[in-house]
Amino acid sequence: MADQENPVFQIQRVYLKDLSLEQPNSPAILLEQEQPSVDIQLGVEATPVAEGVYEVAVTATVQTKINDKTVFLVEAKQAGIFEIRNLPEDQMGAVIGIACPQIIYPYLRGNVADVVTRAGFPPVHLAEINFQAMYEQQQAQAAAAQGGADANPNPALQ
C-alpha cells in the first residue's frame, strides 16, 4: 500500500540553530598589518525527529589567524526540518545528503557573511559546494572502510 502513495518532500522550517563569534586577541590583533590566513571547515549531519521527519544541519567553522594568533572564529549551524515520506530506501541517503544541504547552505552562507561583517571585518563568502560530490566521496569512504560489504546506503542517519 505504501508503494502506491506519492513521495513527499517538504521543507517544514529552516533556522539558524547555533552561532558563535570569538575575537580572543582583540583589540591588539586588529592593529596588525599582515593578511590573515583563513581556514574553513564544513560538515553535514542528519537526525530523525519523528516518523518521516528529519533535521538536517550544515555546520561551518571559519577561523582566521595571523601567525598563530586567532583574529576571529565563527561557528555557525544552519538547520532545516524536512518531511520525507514514501521514497525508496536507496534514494533517502541522496535526498538527505544532497538535496537538503543544498537548500540550507545559502542561508548559512548569508549568516556567516553577515556576522563577520557585523564584527567589523570584510565579509567571508563561503564558496559554492557540490553536495553531490561531497556525498559520493563520503559513500566511497564508508564503503572502503567496511571493505565494500554491508555499506550503509545512508551514512547521514548513523
Looking at residue 148, the DSSP 8-state letter turns out to be: T
DSSP symbols for 65-87: EETTEEEEEEEEEEEEEEEEES-
Write down the pLDDT at residue 138.
84
Write down the pLDDT at residue 5.
85
The secondary element (H helix, E strand) that includes residue 11 is strand 8-22
Signed CA dihedral, 135, 136, 140, 146: sign only: positive
Model pTM? 0.83
Q: Which stretches of the chain score pLDDT less than 70?
A: 1-4, 148-158
Write down the pLDDT at residue 58.
97
Write down the pLDDT at residue 137.
87
Mean pLDDT for the chain overall: 89
The grid coordinates listed for 78 are: 544552519
- Measured CA to CA in angstroms, residue 56 lies from 44, 136, 146, 154 at distances of 7, 17, 25, 13
Write down the pLDDT at residue 147.
76
